[in-house]
Structure 1
Amino acid sequence: SNAMKKLRDDFSEDSDSDIPEKFTPKTDLFDYTRREEMIPMRDGVKLNTIILIPKGVQNTPIVLTRTPYHAERRTLRFNSSSLSMVVPQMNDTTSAARYIIVYQDVRGKYGSEGGYMMNKPLTGPLNTTGTDHSTDTYDTIDWLVKNIPESNGRVAAIGGSYEGYTTLMCTINPHPALKAVVPFASMVDGWMGDDWFHMGAFRQEASLPYAYNQEATRKNEIKWWSGSYDTYDAYLRAGNAGAMAASRGMESIGFWKKLAAHPSYDSFWQQQAMDKMLAQHPLTVPMLIVGGLFDQEDIYGSPKLYKVLAPKDPEGKLVHFVLGPWNHGQGRRDARSLGPLQFEGDTGGWFRRNVMQPFLDHYLKDAPKLDIPRVLSYETGANAWHRYDDWPPERTEGQEAHYCDLYVQEDGKLGFEMPAAKQAFDEYVSDPAKPVPYRQRPTIPSYAAESTWGEWLVDDQRHTASRTDVLVWATEPLKEPLRVAGQPVARLFASTSGSDADWVVKIIDVWPDEVPENPKLGGYQQMLSADIFRGRYREDFAVAKPLVPDKVLEYRIPLPQVSHTFLPGHRIMVQVQSSWFPLYDRNPQTFVPNIMFAPPESYRKATQRVWRTAEYPTAIEIHIIS
């Protein structure tokens, strides 16, 4: 054939390379076109941007995600001719709706120019560069609507975790073309309860590898390394977070230096907390806030956002809140189960089809009036979605909601009656040399191939209940279902023989000893809500103060949100301990200025007492729908 003859004529055995000078892939069978652009920002820096346009579309919206996780890789989930296969599962409905999908490397990462700053704050005292995620998004949207002729000039921003942070940032001084935002599991306040700290306790096992991978190189080429299969051993040998960071050469990494220099909730953290920033700006862009009940990374941010923004929208037109039965990423992908828990179908896919896409269609394509409630929450235990007018709900389906106290009592009992004793407590010895593991050992790093990091918030808690340094109280088996919705608060009356202490409080659903439909769940201690509080911040999160040894002090510890029904035959359990290792760094239990650099001799045993008297009634405040 003529084609074969041309190949023979063009072929030269004298050539030193079989690679052509230029090769253009055949994409005529693709259902989309792919554009790669370097979009200029106001300071001249150009940001690498991938634009995926469904073939044949006109007058269609744009969905934008700004990422530190490599736009090229984020738009090649599978190397396919189909747009729905190429983009992350989060975009399954937007690709089906034939939206234009855009991913952009944030400033300083992968293909984008400029310098990278982790969680870059708004321009101001913490950022004097003159640019931030808000300005970069504004400039990006301005370019997109002017240079993509297939668009209708309307843009939505979507993203989860760090991408959720950049999504929120673009609502501050937003571009007029920005019509809707969907922040999934967004990073809101890194000290109070999201990625880096939880109420003062440093999340070393999550934070150190992440900062190392993100900031050591522009393209994440150098990865955190491990010298131990069990991270419990590795962090225990290191001694403190500072020593572990030094062993990896992190002294030159900017974000680690900031973490180490700001262990308290000072102005550095307060001035960049997204809830505080958004509270100071008008609410102009419709927002669908998406959170997970079992988010192992950013469990604090989404409910806090709703709490701050809802009063700005009294009619419920701009702010909607969805709370799913999800870990950190499940709202963005398949979500039929989590660990041993089974849900009613793919809850993530159901949400994206029936809530997120109608929300986007309404604001980006003038689709019919929304039928989305102000709050939509999945109730575990009952395995059902519920629509509410607010969160926590005051009334639903003819039922009133109210707060009630569950008191710790003698003999390991838990009940609704306040204790009457004058002198009563339960105690344990907390030994920093043998900290309580946050999950059953070996603790596998989150980046390991076999890791189940995303499931640890539903781990069976029997591995800690049998330890002598963990206190346990439980109700009798329930005779009627007990439905709870909202944020529990632990009112802990406790004393320590040391001068500092951590307090970990866990609320647990204890399943019956036998479960006929699933025998493996017999006796399962399902953690519903748990958190850690560093005692030195009892009076002021911004100022660390030593505790008075052996003095009974009250700690009010807000716990993560719950939406759950305790079924008949189940029991409610509360556990209290003083370490959650190695996810959180150990408290030496002797007051030192900065625990990240605590000397070895400061780590000492301490006797911890939890009091249960009429004067000191330790209790868990729960929000009951009855």
Structure 2
Amino acid sequence: MRKILLLFAISFLAKTAVFAQEDILKKLQNIAVVDQKVMMPMRDGVRLATDIFRPKTDKPVPVIFSKTPYNFNSWGNGEMNPRTYQAALEAVSRGYAYVVQNERGRFFSEGDWDILGPPTTDGYDAFSWLTKQAWCNGKIGTIGCSSTAEWQMAVAALDHPSHAAMVPQGFGAGVGKVGEFWEQGNWYRGGAQQMLFTAWLYGTQNDAVRPQFPKNATQEELQRVSRYFDLATEMPPVDWSKGLRHLPVQDIIKNVNGQKGVYEKMIVRKPNDPEWFKGGLYHDNMPFGVPSFWFVSWYDVSSAPNLALFNHVRKNATDPQVRDNQYLVIAPTLHCAYKRATENTIVGERSVGDARLNYDEQIYAWFDHWLKGETNDFFKKTPRVQYYTMGSNKWQSSETWPPADVEMKTYYLNSGGKANSLYGDGKLTLQAPSKENKTDEFAYDPKFPVPSYGGNVCCTGNAVQGGSFDQHQMETRHDILVYTTEPFKEGVEMTGQIETTLYVSSDAKDTDFTVKVIDVYPDGRAYNLDETILRARYREGFDKEVWMEKGKVYKLNLSPMVTSNYFAPGHSIRIEISSSNFPRFDRNLNTGGNNYDEKDGIVAHNQIHHSAAYPSQVRLPLLKTK
């Protein structure tokens, strides 16, 4: 009887879902002209599959445009997929045409796919085509998160006259080089590969040999067959907690029988490879021509370079209207999880309180101003920067990032030479170290790397769960150095960029150094806030490789971290230092070789120095005491 009831409940829920989907489509058809599988021509003749939903009106309307490598076919396995229809219904009901397009080489679109959908001119050509349509008022806004956001910056550099505004969310993989960050679309952090792309490309890249629709297929034919198939690959599931351990790194996708595609050519590139500067990435030597409403997450893979780009555009855009119309939201969530915030938002295993925000209201007010020319209250009601401070669990605002009332305070690494593990004697102090050069030592064996536990990451399958997790069990390892402040008597807010300088030595030609910043609770729980890494060979710049010599001390300035966190009375700030954070970052095999084509590594014996001559330190953005 219980089994029968369960089957009845499942059947009822399935039918309810179908009715809900059909209801969305009916509502959309009542108010919109639905034109699907429009094959939009690019300048080289390649056609990109495009779905257009526009209000039933004789008046021209503005366009909200989304371009993506992901499947937006409204039908899958013979059933309707309502996600595209839901987005279209919202836009059309507000007086916009909603246009979604696949990058070249994806699904119904013709051509060969490359990451971020080069050539960049495809975006420009799409804008030109749309503005020629009688139903378009000549104003286009772009929107999207992750891969539907990351192409927007490079297109903004082309400054198409119709590209009136954009809303990029979780956009880090579109940032090539900005300021001190040479991440090349999040492929690197500090010269170490971010392994998220290995797992992501397994499920995303096209095989060199794959089925394709004929180039002469008509719109009507493509609409008909879209109910049956859409060229979406069905990749066998992979246990990435094991799959990412395979060596050499360049063969990881091959080892799990994945498709042959762009991964094989990208994995061999170094941070300064000319190929990074040819595709869809935005670099800070490019112009920028679009008012932008940026969305960033504290536990995304690229918070620091994202914020660096926001500041870069505000400072360097040549058009004052563009320069002065950059707005920013920073949420305490995972990648693209803004709207998943609840009254009790849990990120990993840490509660950060009620982190909800009226995202849709703000986004559409932004578009209404720039695309419809409405005089609304967006600029009166919306602060330049809205950021969420964890710990105090509240939204705050500022005219700048970081806020003007933040000052950098230097904390020095100190110990008696035994900072290894949670039980060592490592301290963070405002007092500079003595003249005596003390060192903390640990052995880094790439066969037994420090495992990633939580963190600022996405897209790694089951290999890494992003977010904030209690690190204190991890800190019992001898190959993690732990430095902690005394508990604060009064609460301290840390908001902004965290800078780290280490003085190091090693018996290896090359090795990595990793840093985490942590909020330590009075009961010993230790929640990670952000993390970074530097491959020592790039200590003099990412355009060169310089090897280490045994017995010499080297200065390392690591890529900055960033957060906003309130340390309540009794809490402490902690810095963890090690040489691995795997599989968040690939393991350095310590040989000085290419790393991506190597199977065997060696153990590196690494030292952190702290003295008057070698003042290893972190510079923390603390709110000024009032």
Residue equivalent to 1:358: 365
The reply to whether residue 180 of structure 1 matches residue 171 of structure 2 is no
Cα displacement (A) at 1:61: 2.4
- Aligned CA distance change for structure 1 residues 197 and 73 (closer, same or farther; 3 Å): farther
The reply to whether residue 342 of structure 1 matches residue 351 of structure 2 is yes
- Does the CA contact (< 8 Å) of 2:116 and 2:280 recur in 1? no
TM-score (norm. length: structure 1): 0.81
Residue equivalent to 2:39: 38
Paired letter, 1:142 = S
Mapped to 2, the partners of 1:452 and 1:486 lie a distance apart of: 29
Cα displacement (A) at 1:220: 4.5
- Does the CA contact (< 8 Å) of 1:477 and 1:569 recur in 2? yes
Mapped to 2, the partners of 1:74 and 1:154 lie a distance apart of: 30
Cα displacement (A) at 1:332: 5.5
Cα displacement (A) at 1:625: 1.5
Identity %: 26
- Does the CA contact (< 8 Å) of 2:31 and 2:55 recur in 1? yes
Residue equivalent to 1:531: 532
Mapped to 1, the partners of 2:441 and 2:429 lie a distance apart of: 19
Match of 2:447 among 409, 430, 433: 433
Paired letter, 2:109 = S
Secondary structure at 2:505 match in 1: strand
Residue equivalent to 1:197: 188
Residue equivalent to 2:109: 112
Which moves more between the two structures, 201-210 or 287-296?
A: 201-210
Which moves more between the two structures, 316-325 or 326-335?
A: 326-335
Cα displacement (A) at 1:524: 2.6
Mapped to 2, the partners of 1:75 and 1:212 lie a distance apart of: 17
Q: For 1:555-570, what aligned pairs fall within 5 Å after superposition?
A: 555-570=556-571
Cα displacement (A) at 1:304: 2.4
Match of 1:414 among 420, 423, 428: 428
Residue equivalent to 2:422: none
Cα displacement (A) at 1:512: 2.2
Secondary structure at 2:303 match in 1: coil
Secondary structure at 2:441 match in 1: strand
Match of 2:309 among 283, 305, 310: 305
Residue equivalent to 1:163: 148
Residue equivalent to 2:294: 289
- Aligned CA distance change for structure 1 residues 84 and 583 (closer, same or farther; 3 Å): closer
Residue equivalent to 2:198: 207
- Does the CA contact (< 8 Å) of 1:159 and 1:166 recur in 2? no
Paired letter, 2:519 = D
Deviation sequence 1:229-273 (CA, Å, 0-9, x none): 4x444443x2220232442467942x2232233134233335558
Cα displacement (A) at 1:590: 2.0
Residue equivalent to 2:479: 469
Mapped to 2, the partners of 1:321 and 1:440 lie a distance apart of: 25
Cα displacement (A) at 1:200: 1.2
Paired letter, 2:475 = A
Which moves more between the two structures, 104-113 or 43-52?
A: 43-52
Residue equivalent to 1:71: 72
The reply to whether residue 498 of structure 1 matches residue 508 of structure 2 is yes
Structure 2 unaligned regions, length at least 5: 1-23, 213-230, 416-424
- Aligned CA distance change for structure 1 residues 446 and 257 (closer, same or farther; 3 Å): closer
Paired letter, 2:206 = E
Secondary structure at 2:251 match in 1: helix
Mapped to 2, the partners of 1:526 and 1:262 lie a distance apart of: 34
Residue equivalent to 1:223: 235
Mapped to 1, the partners of 2:528 and 2:485 lie a distance apart of: 15
- Aligned CA distance change for structure 1 residues 169 and 71 (closer, same or farther; 3 Å): farther
Instruction: Please report the RMSD computed on the Cα atoms of aligned residues, expressed in angstroms.
Output: 3.2
Mapped to 2, the partners of 1:327 and 1:92 lie a distance apart of: 26
Secondary structure at 1:555 match in 2: strand
Residue equivalent to 1:12: none
Paired letter, 1:597 = D
- Does the CA contact (< 8 Å) of 1:203 and 1:584 recur in 2? yes
- Aligned CA distance change for structure 1 residues 547 and 383 (closer, same or farther; 3 Å): same
Deviation sequence 1:89-121 (CA, Å, 0-9, x none): xx8964663432111011111111122122355
Mapped to 2, the partners of 1:306 and 1:168 lie a distance apart of: 11
- Does the CA contact (< 8 Å) of 1:93 and 1:357 recur in 2? no
Mapped to 2, the partners of 1:244 and 1:26 lie a distance apart of: 42
Secondary structure at 2:49 match in 1: strand
Mapped to 1, the partners of 2:237 and 2:530 lie a distance apart of: 31
Mapped to 1, the partners of 2:47 and 2:192 lie a distance apart of: 38
Which moves more between the two structures, 175-184 or 137-146?
A: 137-146
- Aligned CA distance change for structure 1 residues 490 and 163 (closer, same or farther; 3 Å): same
Mapped to 1, the partners of 2:39 and 2:316 lie a distance apart of: 37
Match of 1:276 among 280, 283, 286: 283
Mapped to 2, the partners of 1:26 and 1:94 lie a distance apart of: 14
Residue equivalent to 1:544: 545
Mapped to 2, the partners of 1:599 and 1:79 lie a distance apart of: 46
- Does the CA contact (< 8 Å) of 1:392 and 1:487 recur in 2? yes
Residue equivalent to 2:272: 265
- Aligned CA distance change for structure 1 residues 342 and 212 (closer, same or farther; 3 Å): closer
Mapped to 2, the partners of 1:273 and 1:85 lie a distance apart of: 25
**Across the two proteins, how many residue pairs are aligned to each other?**
553
Paired letter, 1:38 = M
Secondary structure at 2:392 match in 1: coil
Mapped to 2, the partners of 1:447 and 1:584 lie a distance apart of: 11
Residue equivalent to 1:240: 248
Paired letter, 1:306 = F
Cα displacement (A) at 1:394: 2.1
Residue equivalent to 1:618: 616
Deviation sequence 1:567-598 (CA, Å, 0-9, x none): 11111111011111123221111211x11012
- Does the CA contact (< 8 Å) of 1:204 and 1:241 recur in 2? no
- Aligned CA distance change for structure 1 residues 272 and 409 (closer, same or farther; 3 Å): farther
Residue equivalent to 1:61: 62
Mapped to 2, the partners of 1:116 and 1:426 lie a distance apart of: 48
The reply to whether residue 86 of structure 1 matches residue 81 of structure 2 is no
Residue equivalent to 2:606: 608
Mapped to 2, the partners of 1:102 and 1:117 lie a distance apart of: 22
Deviation sequence 1:23-67 (CA, Å, 0-9, x none): xx9948844432111112222222111112355695542110000
Cα displacement (A) at 1:422: 0.9
Cα displacement (A) at 1:222: 4.9
Mapped to 2, the partners of 1:361 and 1:475 lie a distance apart of: 48
- Does the CA contact (< 8 Å) of 1:84 and 1:92 recur in 2? no
Deviation sequence 1:185-214 (CA, Å, 0-9, x none): 112336833532212111235425425632
Residue equivalent to 2:419: none
Match of 2:491 among 475, 478, 481: 481
TM-score (norm. length: structure 2): 0.81
Paired letter, 1:113 = E
Structure 1 unaligned regions, length at least 5: 1-24, 122-131, 396-400, 514-522
Deviation sequence 1:465-503 (CA, Å, 0-9, x none): 111111111112111111122111111111112111111
